[in-house]
Chain A
C-alpha cells in the first residue's frame, strides 16, 4: 500500500470522527495540545499522526483506535429512521456495533450481502397491510395460526440484523437503519420490556416495507403519525394474525373477554397487554367501551419498562446471533480472547468468564 493512501485513510477518519462528535478542529487541537496546522496536516494526510496522539484523539471523539485505520465510507453510509431523537452518543455506539456485527460475519465467512424485502414482496401498498404480514409469515415458513415465540430470532434468521443495547434517551424503544452495502439493521433498547422489544422489531420491519423512501440522509419524515399507525397495525397483524387469535379463542372456548383473558392471550402471543387489547378491539372481539376501559386500566399498570406477567429477560439472551458468531469464531481460533472483549465491549475478565462458560457447556 502506498504510504500516501494510508495517511489519507487515517486523515479522513480523523475528519469524520471530529465531525460526528460535533467538535471544531480548534477545540480538538487544543485538547491534543497541538497547533491547528498540525491537526490540518493529519487530516489532509500530509503528516501521519503519532500513535500516542491517536490514542488521545480516540478518547476525545469516543471511537476505538481501529476506527481510524479503515476506510469508513461504507460504514458511515447509514440512513437512520426514528420516531424519537437519536442522540449522538447512541448513534456512534450503534454505528460501532453495526461495524462489529459485519466484522464478525466476515470473520466467520457469512454471506453479508443485503437482504432485500423488495426481492420477496411484489407489493408495498399500505392497503394490503394484512396480506403483506401474512405473506411474510408464509415466505418465512411461519404458519398463520401460531404465535411467534421470539420475533427477534425470526427476523435475524431472515437476514435482518438486530442490535440490542441500552440507549441514552429512555424514550428510544428502537430505530432502524438501512445501509446500501449491508442492508437492514434494527436497534432495540434493552431497557424496554421483552414484549416491547418484540413489538418494536416488527414495527421497524414495517417501516422497511412501507416507508423505504424515508431511509435517506437528513430527510424530514412526512405524515409521521400515519406511518406510525401503519407500522403498529402491521406489527399487530404479524404477531397476532386473525387465524391464530380465533383458533386460540375457539380451542380455549373463551366467549367473554375481559382483563384476565387479555392477560392469558398476551402471554400466549408474547405481546404486551395493551397490544393484545388493541388487536381484540380491531378484530371486533371486544367493543369500544370495553376496549377503552381495559386500555385505561392497563395504561395505569404497564409502560415501556413494566409489563403485567411479563416475559423474563433472563430467558431471552440479548444479541443471540451476534454472540453465537463470536463463539463460533473463537472456537475455530479465528479471533483472540482480547477480540471477544473488544467485540462485546466488555472487560477482558468478563471475556474470560464467557470462554470459561463455553468450555463447561
Chain B
C-alpha cells in the first residue's frame, strides 16, 4: 500500500483540489456503507474515469456526486500508451486513471502499491484510505475509535493493508 502516512496532504489547504478514485477505494467505502464519508469530504470534487465506472457497474453510485471523465486529447491517448510501455503491471483502468489525473492535475486516490509508485514517479499527487479516515477524524465526521472499526470492517471485506501500516495508523490515532 506504500506509506500513506507520509502522503503530503492536508485537505484544508486544497479546497480547490479535484480527486479521481480507483475502483477499490469506492468499493471499500460503498461495500461497508461508509459512502457518506466520501460524500462529505469530497463534495463536488469527485471526477471518475469512465473505465473505473465500468469496474463499478455493480454498485449504485447515485448517492455519490461525481463527474465522469474521459481522455479527450491525442496527447492523453499517447500518454496512456507510453505509461503502459513503461509500467507493464498496470491495468487498462489504472492507466486511464493515471492519465486523467496527470492531464487534469487531479489527486489520484488509490491504495494500490504499484499505482502509488507510478504516481510518485510521474509527479501525480496521491492519497489513500488512511488519509481519508484521518481527514474524517479531523473534521469531526467520525471519532478516532470509529476509524479503527471502519478500517477493520474494510479489511475483513477485502481491503488489503499491510500489518505494519495498520499498526502505524493505530499508533498515530492515539495522538489525536
* Contacts from A to B (Cβ < 8 Å): 1, 3, 6, 48, 50-52, 55, 64-66, 69, 103, 106-107, 329, 333-339, 341-342, 347-349, 352-353, 355-356, 359
Contacts and interface: CB of A to CB of B under 8 A. Distances in A.
Interface stretch (B7-15, B20-28, B36-44, B121-129): B20-28
A106 B88 contact: yes
Contacts of A52: 50, 70
Contact of B91 (A333, A339, A352): A339
Contacts of B114: 333-336, 339
Contacts of A3: 74, 78
Contacts of A352: 24, 27, 158-160
Contact of B158 (A50, A64, A339, A353): A353
Contact of A349 (B50, B90, B158): B158
B117 interface: yes
A51 B72 contact: yes
B112 A337 contact: yes
B113 interface: yes
Contact of B77 (A48, A329, A342, A359): A48
9 contacts: A6-B81, A51-B77, A64-B92, A334-B89, A336-B112, A338-B93, A339-B89, A352-B158, A352-B160
A338 B158 contact: no
Contacts of A69: 80-81, 84
A24 to B, nearest CB: 26
A300 to B, nearest CB: 45
B155 to A, nearest CB: 9
Interface residues of B, number: 34
Contact of A103 (B22, B27, B50, B88): B88
A247 B62 CA distance: 69
A127 to B, nearest CB: 46
Interface string B74-102: 10111011101000111111100000000
Given A48-B77, A338-B94, A352-B160, A107 B112 contact: no
A122 B124 CA distance: 57
B77 A333 contact: no
Given A336-B112, A349-B158, A356-B160, A55 B51 contact: yes
Given A336-B89, A338-B55, A355-B160, 17 more contacts: A51-B70, A51-B80, A52-B50, A64-B92, A106-B88, A334-B88, A338-B22, A338-B23, A338-B90, A338-B112, A339-B91, A342-B92, A348-B27, A348-B55, A353-B158, A356-B158, A359-B160
Contacts of A341: 55, 91
A335 B88 CA distance: 8
A197 to B, nearest CB: 29
B115 interface: yes
A334 B78 CA distance: 22
Nearest to B22: A338
A335 B87 CA distance: 9
Nearest to A329: B89
Contacts of A333: 113-114, 117
B28 to A, nearest CB: 9
A55 B93 CA distance: 12
A65 B77 CA distance: 11
State the 10 A-B residue pairs at the shortest beta-carbon distance, nearest first: A335-B89, A352-B158, A338-B91, A51-B71, A339-B91, A342-B91, A333-B113, A336-B114, A65-B92, A336-B112
Contacts of A359: 160
Interface in B150-164: 158-160
A356 to B, nearest CB: 5
Contacts of A347: 55, 58
A358 to B, nearest CB: 9
A101 to B, nearest CB: 14
Contacts of B112: 336-338
Contacts of A51: 70-72, 76-77, 80
Contact of A336 (B58, B71, B94, B159): B94
Nearest to A339: B91
Contacts of A337: 24, 112, 160
Nearest to A335: B89
Nearest to A358: B160
A353 B156 CA distance: 10
Interface in B127-170: 158-160
A103 B50 CA distance: 25
A352 B22 CA distance: 14
Contacts of B89: 107, 329, 334-336, 339
B116 to A, nearest CB: 9
Nearest to B1: A333
